């Protein structure tokens, strides 16, 4: 046998042993034997570098250092899941699904692993990229670190597709987490708080060798590709397992709601018997074609729901109520608590939301209170142990003036929150608006974080986001924790932000109720900031998905002389305040006034590209067929219920080629 063949055979054998040990938990050789074979392979590779393979089992130990994790776009968007906390909400979801889908339904029930979401990309059976969830559209490339996780296959086996993504969670099993904490305590260091945060933090360690030392695992649950060799979610789980992925076998196929309930009830009781943490169950429509017919909302798939188990509860003392001022002037009361452990973390603060919530709970300083984590994330006070209240307890009186600038608060009719109207002079509002402008989803200015913004405002260097573009290097270097290099990075980052596209700048302006999606709608419809500024209320509400509340907020923003002055300065500095020539060149009104539904698999463009073409040419994409639908663009394997509904309503069904001819 020649050397190359020996190396390849060893790699194949070690991959199989690795799969049996870390994925199946069924080792067939001892650790000593495995280590001996690994050492032999390592020696052969060192002596014969011409046979280098980046996916070799010897390269799992890490050693590469990543200073900055590159932000990259997901091939397929990572949507978040709608959450349900009651059987009634689950029933409502099923009712909505049945209204949109004809024919029988089955569900796949899977455990909701409590870890860090990850998307793995494979080409020709080899791992090429691992990306964190990020904002769902783009995330951080952590491939170097993920390669060290033993349960992530670097080379697949079987009849895998040529190119696909697979989604999952990086988790830290409880046994490994406890061992890590024992070692930290022995070394005199503070223990890690919980497995989820520790797993998430591990992915961003700069030294991959340190990641390799941690007992992380990767549990997979969702295949993504333009064409998949499966027809159902459950079949996808089985296939992924055959290709070498670690897919927990607890998932089940439920033929009806009763079987779904059996699964929920079982795991609500037995979840603590698992080797890792879960916080609920994910229920998915099993048939992939039905999933495609159901489609997505702006944030979540309509065909899936996360059923969250009842939150853990703790009891503690409310020591003091303080008040925070947000960037819009909204006042949020905060309960400062005697520290208490809850769901693996130490909770010291909880939001009280508004004056109505305080009055409803009759909550007071010194009260013994019940605290839960809403969705296992945000602590909230759910009740007061009134029987433990002392005789000298005093009812809470909501503040009347801003805690930061002492301006008299206002509360608009129909709104729950109080507001500080001093937008120009209230420091937290000034700082908050600029922090929003520089955030990742907006201008994403490298070298400028929230603390630096506060530093710049408090030193009188900036008072609004346009002031950023007047900053000079010699002004920022003397600031605390600011050296020449970091000052240069800041100035360069501000300069680079002038290239950020218009829709993100519009979001960054912080117009109330104008989030990412609304900013994109407005930018696409009006093309420039001048056109938006000139639009009146009746014009704005005609824009797709823009209601009266948003329209009033937009008009109010551009009525402000100060806002108009700031925008004029941004324009003067070269910030993108209109769609780029490239985007404008790709947009027409050929499909204006037409509503399209897209169904099936397409040859010449992907389904997402087809939807973009519709929107770029002035059309609207809908997820379901109705009397208002103008065309259904049908690909291979079009949903039968969609076809039947289109025919019954007389909606024209056109092919991919027909559509492409429409836009030419």
The pLDDT, as a whole number, for residue 630 is 93
How does the average pLDDT of the chain come out, rounded?
A: 87
| pLDDT exceeds cutoff 70 at 212 | yes
Strand partners, 217: 171
Question: Could you state, in order of their start, the residue ranges of all structural domains in the chain?
Answer: 3-61, 83-260+272-306, 311-418, 427-499, 502-585, 595-663
Residue 207 has what DSSP assignment?
B
Q: Residue 95, exposed/middle/buried by CB under 10 A (0-12, 13-18, 19+)?
A: exposed
Name the CATH topology of 502-585. Answer: DNA polymerase; domain 1 (1.10.150)
Contact of 473 with 488, CB cutoff 8 Å = yes
Kindly state the tokens that stand for 63.
């050693």
Question: How much of the chain exceeds pLDDT 70, in percent?
Answer: 96
In this prediction, residue 521 has a pLDDT band, given cuts at 50, 70 and 90, of: confident
Is it the case that residue 376 has pLDDT exceeding 50? no
Q: Is 3.30.930.10 the CATH classification of the domain at 83-260+272-306? A: no
Regarding predicted confidence, which is higher, 640 or 117? 117
Q: Catalytic site residue 320?
A: no
**pLDDT at residue 194 greater than cutoff 90:** no
- Walk across the sheet containing 83-84 and list its strands: 83-84, 304-308, 278-285, 107-113, 252-254
What pLDDT, on the 0 to 100 scale, is given for residue 342? 79
Write the pLDDT tens digit of every residue in 419-444.
Answer: 999 988 999 999 999 999 998 889 98
The string of pLDDT tens digits covering residues 216-255 is 999 999 999 988 899 999 999 999 999 999 999 999 999 9
Q: Which of 112, 246, 308, 642 is catalytic?
A: 112
- Considering only residues 41 and 663, tell me which one the structure prediction assigns the higher pLDDT: 663
pLDDT digits (tens, 9 = 90+) for 157-191: 999 999 999 999 999 998 998 888 888 777 777 77
- Kindly report, residue by residue over 250-282, the tens digit of the pLDDT: 999 999 989 999 999 999 888 888 999 888 999
Q: What number does CATH give the domain 311-418?
A: 2.40.50.140
- The 10s digit of each residue's pLDDT in 561-603 is 999 999 999 999 999 999 887 777 777 888 888 889 888 878 8
From the list 201, 377, 215, 200, the residue with the least C-alpha distance to 280 is 377
Distance CA 16, CA 157 (A): 10
Cα separation, 408 vs 398, in Å, equals 12
Superfamily of domain covering 427-499: 5' to 3' exonuclease, C-terminal subdomain (1.10.150.20)
Q: Element (H or E) spanning 304, and its range?
A: strand 304-308
Residue 506 clears pLDDT 50, i.e. is over it: yes
Task: Report the pLDDT value the prediction gives residue 52, as an integer from 0 to 100.
Answer: 78
Domains 427-499 and 502-585 equal at CATH topology level: yes
Give the number of residues written for the chain.
Answer: 664
Give tens-digit pLDDT for 112-121.
998 899 999 9
Mean pLDDT to the nearest integer, 193-203 = 86
Task: State the pLDDT at residue 23.
Answer: 65
Query: What pLDDT is stored for residue 254 in this prediction?
Result: 95
pLDDT score at 374: 56
Q: How confident is the model at residue 554 (pLDDT cuts 50, 70, 90)?
A: very high
**Residue with structure tokens 């959450």?**
83
Please tell me the predicted confidence (pLDDT) of residue 344: 63
Beta-bridged to residue 368, according to DSSP, are: 317
Strands (E), 490-577: none
pLDDT band at 343, cuts 50/70/90? low
**CB 263 within 8 Å of CB 253:** no
Tell me the CB-side half-sphere exposure of residue 100, using CA atoms within 13 A: 21
Q: What is the mean pLDDT of residues 436-464?
A: 89
Q: What pLDDT was estimated at residue 224?
A: 94
**Residue 131 is inside which H or E element, if any?**
strand 126-132
Overall CATH class of domain 595-663 = alpha beta
N-terminal to C-terminal alpha carbon distance within the chain: 59
Task: Say if strands 631-634 and 595-599 run parallel, antiparallel, or are unpaired.
Answer: parallel
pLDDT given at position 37: 77
Q: What's the rounded Cα separation, in Å, for the pair 488 and 480?
A: 15
Over range 456-462, report the average pLDDT. 92
- Tally of CB atoms within 10 A around 305: 26
Tens digit of each residue's pLDDT (9 = 90 or more) over 23-43: 666 777 776 777 777 778 777
Q: How confident is the model at residue 611 (pLDDT cuts 50, 70, 90)?
A: confident
Question: Which residues are CB-contacts of 89 (< 8 A; sequence separation ≥ 6)?
Answer: none
Which pLDDT score is estimated for 571? Answer: 95
Kindly report, residue by residue over 58-110, the tens digit of the pLDDT.
Answer: 766 655 666 678 889 899 989 988 888 888 989 999 999 988 887 789 999 99
Three-state SS string across 379-444, please?
A: EEEEEECHHHCCCCCCCCCCCCECCCCCCECECCCCCCCCECCCCCCCHHHHHHHHHHHCCCCCCC
| Residue whose pair of structure tokens reads 């809850």 in the numeric block | 342
HEC profile of 98-125:
HHHCCCCCCEEEEEEECCEEEEEEEECC
CATH of segment(s) 3-61: 1.10.287.610
Higher pLDDT, 501 or 375: 501
């Amino acid at each position: 046998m020649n050397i190359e063949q020996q190396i390849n055979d060893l790699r194949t054998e070690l991959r199989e042993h690795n799969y049996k040990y870390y994925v199946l938990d069924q080792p067939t050789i001892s650790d000593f034997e495995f280590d001996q074979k690994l050492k032999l392979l390592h020696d052969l590779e060192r002596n014969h570098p011409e046979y280098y393979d980046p996916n070799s089992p010897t390269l799992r130990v890490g050693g590469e250092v990543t200073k900055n994790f590159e932000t990259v776009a997901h091939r397929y968007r990572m949507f978040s899941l709608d959450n349900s906390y009651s059987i009634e909400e689950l029933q409502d979801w099923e009712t909505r699904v049945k209204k949109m889908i004809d024919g029988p339904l089955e569900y796949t029930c899977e455990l909701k692993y409590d870890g860090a979401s990850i998307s793995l990309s494979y080409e020709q059976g080899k791992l090429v990229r691992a990306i964190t969830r990020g904002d769902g559209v783009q995330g951080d490339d952590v491939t170097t670190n993920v390669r060290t996780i033993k349960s992530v296959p670097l080379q697949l086996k079987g009849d895998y597709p040529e190119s696909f993504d697979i989604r999952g969670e990086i988790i830290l099993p409880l046994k490994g987490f406890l061992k890590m904490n024992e070692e930290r305590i022995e070394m005199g260091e503070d223990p890690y708080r919980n497995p989820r945060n520790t797993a998430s933090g591990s992915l961003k360690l700069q030294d991959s060798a340190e990641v390799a030392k941690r007992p992380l695992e990767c549990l997979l649950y969702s295949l993504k590709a333009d064409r998949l060799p499966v027809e159902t979610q459950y079949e996808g789980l089985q296939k992924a397992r055959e290709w070498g992925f670690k897919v927990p076998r607890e998932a089940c196929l439920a033929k009806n709601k009763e079987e779904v309930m059996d699964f929920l009830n079982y795991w609500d009781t037995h979840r603590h018997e698992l080797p890792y943490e879960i916080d609920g169950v994910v229920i998915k429509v099993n048939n992939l074609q039905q999933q495609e017919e159901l489609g997505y909302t702006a944030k979540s798939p309509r065909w899936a729901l996360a059923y969250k188990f009842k939150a853990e509860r703790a009891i503690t003392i409310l020591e003091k109520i303080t008040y925070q001022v947000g960037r819009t002037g909204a006042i949020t009361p905060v309960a400062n608590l005697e520290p208490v452990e809850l769901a693996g973390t130490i909770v010291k603060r909880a939001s009280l939301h508004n004056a109505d919530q305080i009055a409803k709970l009759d909550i007071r300083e010194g009260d013994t209170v019940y605290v839960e984590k809403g969705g296992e994330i945000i602590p909230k006070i759910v009740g007061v142990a009134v029987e433990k209240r002392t005789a000298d307890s005093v009812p809470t009186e909501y503040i009347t003036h801003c805690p930061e600038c002492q301006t008299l608060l206002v509360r608009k009719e129909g709104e729950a929150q109080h507001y500080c109207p001093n937008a120009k002079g209230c420091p937290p509002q000034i700082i908050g608006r600029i922090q929003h402008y520089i955030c990742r989803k907006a201008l994403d200015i490298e070298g400028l974080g929230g603390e630096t913004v506060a530093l710049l405002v408090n030193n009188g260097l900036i008072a609004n986001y346009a002031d950023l573009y007047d900053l000079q290097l010699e002004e920022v270097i003397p600031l605390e924790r600011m050296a020449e290099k970091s000052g240069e990075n800041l100035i360069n980052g501000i300069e680079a932000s002038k290239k950020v596209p218009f829709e993100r700048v519009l979001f960054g302006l912080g117009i109330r109720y104008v989030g990412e999606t609304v900013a994109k709608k407005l930018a696409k419809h009006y093309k420039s900031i001048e056109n938006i500024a000139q639009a009146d209320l009746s014009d704005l509400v005609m824009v797709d998905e823009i209601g009266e509340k948003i329209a009033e907020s937009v008009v109010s923003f551009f009525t402000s002389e100060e806002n108009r002055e700031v925008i004029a300065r941004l324009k003067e500095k070269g910030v993108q305040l209109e769609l780029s020539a490239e985007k404008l060149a790709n947009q027409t009104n050929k499909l204006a006034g037409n509503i399209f539904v897209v169904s099936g698999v397409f040859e010449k463009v992907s389904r997402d590209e087809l939807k973009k073409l519709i929107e770029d040419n002035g059309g609207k994409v809908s997820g379901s067929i109705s009397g208002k639908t103008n065309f259904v663009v049908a690909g291979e394997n079009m949903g039968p219920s969609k076809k039947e509904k289109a025919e019954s309503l007389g909606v024209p069904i056109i092919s991919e080629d027909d559509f492409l001819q429409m836009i030419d």
